[in-house]
Amino acid sequence: MRLSTMFVPTRKEDPAEAEVVSHQLLVRGGFIRMLARGIYDFLPLGWRSVRKIEQIVREEMDRAGAQEVHLPAVQPAELWQESGRWTHYGAELLRFRDRKGAEFCFGPTHEEVVTDMIRGDVKSYKQLPLNVYQIQTKFRDETRPRFGLMRGREFIMKDAYSFDVDEEGALQSYDVMFEAYHRIFKRLGLEYRAVEADTGNIGGSRSHEFQVLAETGEDEIVSCTECGYAANVEKAEIRLEVAEAGEPSGSELATLRTPKARTIEEVSAYLKRPAQLIVKTLVYMADEKALIVLTRGDHQVNELKLKAYLNGELGRDVQELRMASDAEVEALTKAPVGFAGPVGVEGVEIIADLAVEPMVDFIVGANLKDKHHVNVNHGRDFEVSAFVDLRQAGAGDICGRCGGTLEAHRGIEVGHVFFLGDKYSKAMNANVLDENGEHRPMQMGCYGIGVTRILAAVIEQNHDDDGIIFPMAVAPYQVVICPLHLKNELVVSEAERIYNELQAAGVEVILDDRDLRAGNKFKDADLIGIPVRLTLGGRGVENGEAELKMRHQSENEMVPLSEVVDRIKALIEDARGER
């Protein structure tokens, strides 16, 4: 297409609200515009890239035997009441009433609707296995939408659902999807890891996340350098090596001034003691009831383990577990945030990670502004109601599988495969007759891919100071032709000839026919990340040459005008071969 007629409103300035590079470049490159918090318009270039991602996903779903369907965005409350999620899903579920007062939601996911569809027509094991998928707009009313397309409220997802008569079949369906996901993310040109993941609110018992590695990722993952084991830190199995209990020195508890030292790093630096000798005090709200959790200063709390302990071993039914707000911490400890500690706090349960148990003569916040206690010992200075494993995996921890060492990465979750078992089929009476004539709930799996989020992830991994560096598979156009001297008839006629020949060959090509300087044309071409740039200058064309430059390489090359079209076709063919 001719750039002069295209709606590609590039901008020079980063948008004020954009914290990550993909958000900045998507706005500056004219790919997206914000309509409301977490809700974006896709402009022509952005939408072309989304459709390319969709098409790769679709081809691999079809190849894996999944059948495309399209389910409604507006879903009746009744189905969510059947599954029990109408009450459990929380405020992320956008609910409303229609003109007759009936309750509905904007689907954030489709387990209920798809189970309802299948139960209506599938009655026998002979109709199974089935795997249906859709590529469709979802809405999750996030508290803090951010990072542009990485955590939006309205987004496009591919969601697939498998139905089998038994667990063995369901796990085979799972494996087929697992392999299809690998093909998809390879074709997209992404560096990613498939990691074991927690099964969270959706339920079920086997689950992998597909994480694109990027510093800006919101997820923390670890992988073992020895055995390749990879998992979300929430789920990662680590070998706990608890030290032997120390012997308290017998020194009295003392209170030291620690002005402005709030974090473990600041306290450690100020008191010149390692983080391993400090106990970190965290205040959580479990369904609005405060709870103090202690860990060693260099450790992190795994909230899933904490919740599992509360609801499992303690037999509670905590729905919402969250960090206390600053105000709640201050109300509890009567001190500014950063100085909380377990000594002298009344009426609050205190639990501690196993690694705290052997610690003696340690340091804690004093519940006084700019003060910490030292020579603290549990049992003497305060009571811990239970020591349990609450630790989250991190770099340097010992791999729970092989004893190797874990390394940490940040990841953007772009895909998720789940074995659901009979969670939904049982609740919703989605039964089939098996070979023995017995009714049994179908075994389900669900498989998501964040289509619009992938666009952000591609850019997080593929950019430089000048802009986006699209892999060929996701680029909105493959080639941009920049004729530099629009008054030179030969330049224009050669540019037009090449443009027409490439289009006729099915190449997606932009002709930058704007009357601008070379620098401005190159800036835009680099910003929007077109993989191949062909520049026609006056002198070059008179010598029978044009300049060919790949966006991901710094060198360029002069190519005879007669060979340009074939060279470009070959470049695109090569990229296709990289599948």
- Measured CA to CA, the distance from residue 10 to residue 530 in angstroms comes to 14
Output 76 or 336, the one with its CB closest to its own copies: 76
- The token pair at 482 is 């920049």
Minimal distance in Å, beta carbon 182 to its own copies? 23
- Measured CA to CA, the distance from residue 193 to residue 191 in angstroms comes to 7
Minimal distance in Å, beta carbon 243 to its own copies? 45
- Measured CA to CA, the distance from residue 277 to residue 296 in angstroms comes to 7
Binding to its own copies by CB under 8 A, coded x per residue (else -) over 356-395, reads ----------------------------------------
181 binds its own copies (CB under 8 A): no
**Candidate ranges 1-9, 167-175, 230-238, 317-325; the one touching its own copies (CB under 8 A):** 1-9
What does each C-alpha distance from 145 to 108, 110, 151, 154, 295 come to in angstroms? 14, 21, 5, 10, 30
Residue type, 173: S
Output 172 or 405, the one with its CB closest to its own copies: 172
Using DSSP's 3-state secondary structure scheme, residue 196 falls into strand
What does each C-alpha distance from 428 to 80, 117, 400 come to in angstroms? 10, 11, 37
Compute the residue count for the chain. Answer: 579
- The token pair at 44 is 């022509």
How many residues contact its own copies, by CB under 8 A? Answer: 59
Residues 121-160 that bind its own copies (CB under 8 A): 121-122, 127, 130, 132, 134, 136-137, 139, 141, 143, 153-154
Positive/negative CA dihedral, 83, 88, 94, 97: positive
Output 136 or 311, the one with its CB closest to its own copies: 136
Q: Which one of residues 14, 15, 59, 69 is an interface residue with its own copies (CB under 8 A)? A: 69
- Measured CA to CA, the distance from residue 221 to residue 192 in angstroms comes to 11
Output 19 or 68, the one with its CB closest to its own copies: 68
Output 153 or 299, the one with its CB closest to its own copies: 153
Q: Are 449 and 414 in contact (CB under 8 A)?
A: yes
Q: Are 240 and 394 in contact (CB under 8 A)?
A: no
Q: Are 152 and 85 in contact (CB under 8 A)?
A: no
Output 115 or 367, the one with its CB closest to its own copies: 115
Residues 32-51 that bind its own copies (CB under 8 A): 33, 35-36, 39-44, 46-48, 50-51
Minimal distance in Å, beta carbon 555 to its own copies? 33
Those residues with Cβ within 8 angstroms of residue 350's Cβ, 6 or more apart along the chain or in another chain: 292, 293, 294, 342, 382, 383, 384, 385
Binding to its own copies by CB under 8 A, coded x per residue (else -) over 74-103, reads xxx--------------xx-xxxxxx--x-
Q: Which one of residues 9, 228, 358, 396 is an interface residue with its own copies (CB under 8 A)? A: 9
The Cα angle at residue 221 between residues 220 and 225, in degrees rounded to 5: 145
68 binds its own copies (CB under 8 A): yes
Q: Give the interface with its own copies as residue ranges (CB under 8 A).
A: 1, 5-7, 9, 30, 33, 35-36, 39-44, 46-48, 50-51, 65, 67-76, 91-92, 94-99, 102, 104, 106, 113, 116-117, 120-122, 127, 130, 132, 134, 136-137, 139, 141, 143, 153-154
